């Protein structure tokens, strides 16, 4: 098989201030990387776009190092092996890798996982059967711990994390209330089996949310922060659990929220309602729970108990615009870039 001459890649051109713009990214070509002993030469089939990438574009201290200006944007990928210099892999194999926003890459074979295209569509390894699905599974079951009959609320509910949170909550016998942007997304939540769906753009969102949670909220899976958090906080029951997973409403913020300092009111509520707020990064649960996740989630997907929706954009050159849209709700389902057939 003849190899392509060049690698196309998207690099970080500058650190965004506020919402990223097209000029914060640059598309480049580079010579094809050359694998050494133990490596695989990979062709990217699918690139996953995820909200955490906004944090990597910034130099602010976080749980992971930032992408350097001029470096390839990081990201999970599903790739085809073009050339193998590692035992146990052959050209044509499909693997889960972390190759970033580029058409070709070299990976140490110890850092990839082989995928079985017959078991599930390969791109699900970036969504429902991958990091976002695992985030929902681990955060909900290890921190949220929903009990039968309890009410679980989640926002960004049509995304890969939120949709899995709501459906796993249902499997565990809880009531699932989903929050999403717009009527079309809310209609989709009904198809997924959520008991109620609320549009956070609605002018009476707060009242509607309260009406949808007549017995209060026992688990709030925090994906967004902002006005959704403000609306949920007064509804939290005594001993409610809040897995703090993501705060996408703040990722592009350049200044603190306006208005009075609400920390005293928040801490009082945590105290008087005996609330548990626990932040987490999914990787802390991988060692103990990933195997169980793969077994449970694959079964639920096969049985149709967990459904998933993908938003697939064709062409690596559209990754910057698709990513900018992800941060303000333009995606509808797990956002993937299809890089090659």
Residues lying near ligand NDP in the complex (CB under 6 A): 50-52, 132, 135, 155-156, 158-162, 180-181, 185, 200, 223-224, 226, 228, 245-246, 248-249, 280-282, 326, 328-329, 331, 335
Smaller CB separation from ligand NDP, 83 or 310:
310
The conformation of residue 58, written as its DSSP 8-state character, comes to S
The answer to whether the beta carbons of residues 126 and 76 sit under 8 Å apart is yes
- Distance in Å, CB of 278 to ligand NDP, minimum: 11
Smaller CB separation from ligand NDP, 83 or 195:
195
- Distance in Å, CB of 100 to ligand NDP, minimum: 17
The percent of the chain in helix, strand and coil, each rounded to the nearest 5, is 35, 25, 40
Identify the residue whose tokens are 């693997």: 95
- Distance in Å, CB of 40 to ligand NDP, minimum: 26
Rounded Cα distance, 293 and 124, in Å: 14
Smaller CB separation from ligand NDP, 35 or 243:
243
Smaller CB separation from ligand NDP, 106 or 157:
157
Nearest partner of 341 among 103, 118, 75, 115, judged by Cα: 103
- Distance in Å, CB of 156 to ligand NDP, minimum: 4
- Distance in Å, CB of 328 to ligand NDP, minimum: 6
- Distance in Å, CB of 308 to ligand NDP, minimum: 11
Smaller CB separation from ligand NDP, 146 or 243:
243
DSSP H helices, the chain, are: 52-56, 131-138, 160-171, 183-191, 205-212, 226-232, 263-272, 286-302, 319-326
- Distance in Å, CB of 245 to ligand NDP, minimum: 4
Smaller CB separation from ligand NDP, 146 or 329:
329
Angle at Cα 251 formed by Cα 247 and Cα 255, nearest 5°? 110
Rounded Cα distance, 256 and 248, in Å: 14
The conformation of residue 46, written as its DSSP 8-state character, comes to E
Question: Which of helix, strand or coil describes residue 282?
Answer: helix
The answer to whether the beta carbons of residues 159 and 334 sit under 8 Å apart is yes
Smaller CB separation from ligand NDP, 81 or 126:
126
The conformation of residue 316, written as its DSSP 8-state character, comes to G
């Amino acid at each position: 098989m003849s190899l392509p001459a060049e690698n196309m890649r998207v690099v970080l051109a500058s650190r965004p201030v506020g919402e990223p713009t097209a000029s914060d990214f640059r598309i480049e070509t580079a010579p094809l990387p050359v694998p050494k002993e133990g490596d695989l030469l990979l062709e990217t089939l699918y690139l996953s776009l995820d909200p955490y990438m906004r944090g990597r574009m910034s130099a602010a201290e976080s749980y992971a190092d930032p992408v350097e200006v001029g470096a390839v944007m990081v990201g999970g990928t599903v790739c085809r092996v073009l050339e193998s210099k590692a035992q146990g892999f052959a050209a044509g194999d499909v693997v889960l890798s972390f190759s970033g926003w580029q058409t070709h890459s070299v990976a140490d074979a110890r850092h990839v996982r082989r995928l079985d295209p017959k078991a599930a569509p390969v791109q699900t390894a970036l969504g429902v059967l991958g990091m976002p699905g695992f985030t929902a599974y681990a955060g909900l079951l290890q921190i949220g711990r929903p009990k039968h009959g309890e009410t679980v609320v989640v926002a960004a509910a049509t995304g890969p994390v939120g949709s899995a949170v709501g459906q796993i909550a249902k499997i565990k016998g809880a009531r699932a209330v989903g929050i999403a942007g717009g009527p079309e997304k809310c209609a989709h939540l009904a198809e997924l089996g959520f008991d109620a769906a609320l549009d956070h753009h609605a002018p009476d969102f707060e009242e509607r949310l309260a009406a949808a949670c007549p017995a209060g909220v026992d688990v709030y899976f925090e994906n967004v922060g902002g006005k959704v958090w403000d609306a949920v906080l007064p509804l939290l029951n005594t001993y409610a659990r809040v897995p703090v997973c993501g705060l996408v409403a703040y990722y592009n913020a350049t200044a603190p929220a306006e208005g009075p300092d609400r920390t005293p009111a928040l801490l009082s509520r945590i105290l008087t309602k005996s609330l548990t707020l626990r932040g987490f990064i999914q990787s802390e649960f991988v060692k103990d729970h990933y195997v169980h996740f793969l077994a449970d989630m694959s079964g639920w997907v096969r049985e149709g108990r967990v459904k998933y929706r993908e938003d697939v954009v064709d062409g690596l050159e559209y990754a910057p615009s698709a990513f900018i849209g992800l941060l303000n709700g333009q995606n509808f389902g797990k956002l993937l870039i299809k890089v090659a057939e």
